[in-house]
């Protein structure tokens, strides 16, 4: 059976992408009571902004993966 493609528009940048049902669920965020679909680059931007607001610096690599995480002014010891 062929997968049905569902299309969703990113609530941030307006990019329209095709998803399978599970991917669409994973890309849908509930922010302040509003369900928004976020494409991968916008999800990454949101992660970086949230972390920055909490004193954490996230550096993204070229492929969109997290390259480095720095906890500014905090030391974490095992």
Tens-place pLDDT, residues 16-56 = 999 999 999 999 999 899 999 999 899 999 989 999 988 88
Distance of CA 27 to CAs 24, 35, 68, 69, 74, Å?
Answer: 5, 10, 23, 23, 31
Whether 57 is covered by a domain: the verdict is yes
Q: Which pLDDT band holds residue 73 (cuts at 50, 70, 90)? A: low
Whether 77 is covered by a domain: the verdict is no
pLDDT of residue 77: 45
Range of the domain at 58: 6-71
Whether 42 is covered by a domain: the verdict is yes
pLDDT of residue 3: 62
Inform me whether the pLDDT recorded for 2 exceeds 70.
Answer: no
Q: Which pLDDT band holds residue 60 (cuts at 50, 70, 90)? A: confident
The number of domains in the chain is 1
């Amino acid at each position: 059976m062929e997968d049905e493609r569902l299309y969703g528009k990113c609530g941030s940048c307006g990019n329209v992408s095709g998803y399978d049902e599970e991917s669409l669920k994973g890309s849908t965020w509930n922010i302040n009571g509003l369900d928004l679909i976020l494409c991968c680059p916008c999800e990454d931007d949101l992660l970086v902004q949230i972390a920055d607001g909490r004193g954490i610096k996230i550096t993204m690599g070229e492929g969109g993966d997290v390259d480095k995480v720095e906890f500014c002014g905090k030391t974490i010891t095992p």
